[in-house]
Amino acid sequence: MSPALLVEQLLNGLQLGVMLFLMSAGLTLIFGVMGLINLAHGSFYMVGAFACAAIAAATGSFWAGLAASLAGAAAAGVLVEVAIIRRLYDRDHLDQVLATFALILIFSEGTRWLFGSFPLYLDIPPLLQWAATLPGGLQYPVYRLAVIGLGVAVALGLFLLISRTRLGMRIRAGENDREMIAALGVDIRRLNTIVFALGAALAGLAGATVGALQSVQVGMGEPVLILAFVVIVIGGIGSVRGALLGALLVGLVDTAGRFFLPRIAGLFVPPAEAGLVGSGIASMLIYVVMALILALRPKGLFASHA
């Protein structure tokens, strides 16, 4: 197996990892600050993808669509938080799960009513439609490299936001003691809305970036949401640093498993069955990794909020 092929799979894993980070960073912030289990987080991923596809089709500009994905998902997040989520903070987790599951159905059917059941497609912007030649002669799509760079930039931006700004100070305080910062005069309801909108915007951005690689369709957020929950459990609930490390780990393990395990299975079973057996094992691999990490560190890799 050539080194170029290994590098390609490494980059594919990084690209999947940064997409998962965009999803899981907002999810872990929402849970850390609000204590809210938000099953509808994947719906904001879908909203961002559809907003990007619709605006890009109307204007001919992918960049306008990307801005629309952020604005649309954030606006949807504010609307949902003010109208529904705000009433769930003092309820138990079962009520939160049921209410946010209902939101999944509402978003899915509303999107189907607006856009129909057929998938939409996003074109990669002309600026990023070429392939770069990497060391070793590997040709790799520039758009995927740009997605990796975007994820790194967002991670750095979140770190600076949380560690260096007044809003970040309030977010950190809200993760530790919401009642205390409310007693000190911080408008906790406004803070909740800002954090929820930020998390929704990040999910929408993830949906828009992936929409140019896959089709944009109803229900696209639910499979990614499952992986995002795996990420925050591995990284530690409430930790953005843990979400980054967990997302990269899940992305690399999932990509490597789907690439290598069918080939390894071919050494033990007939070639006609190797793909099926290897893919089945690969689909379980990230959950095995999660179980092993939790056995060693029950609160995740980074138990403290960061």
Domain-by-domain residue ranges, the chain?
A: 11-130+138-296
Placement of tokens 């040709």 in the chain: 139
Low-confidence ranges of the chain (pLDDT < 70): 1, 175-178, 303-306
Domain 11-130+138-296 has CATH 1.10.3470: yes
Q: What's the confidence (pLDDT) of residue 145? A: 92
pLDDT (tens digit per residue) in 79-90: 999 999 988 887
Nearest to 279 by CA among 259, 297, 295: 259
pLDDT tens-place string over residues 250-299: 999 999 888 888 888 777 778 777 778 878 888 889 999 999 999 999 88
pLDDT at 1: 60
pLDDT given for residue 263 in this prediction: 80
pTM: 0.89
Query: Residues 121, 133: contact at Cβ < 8 Å?
Result: no
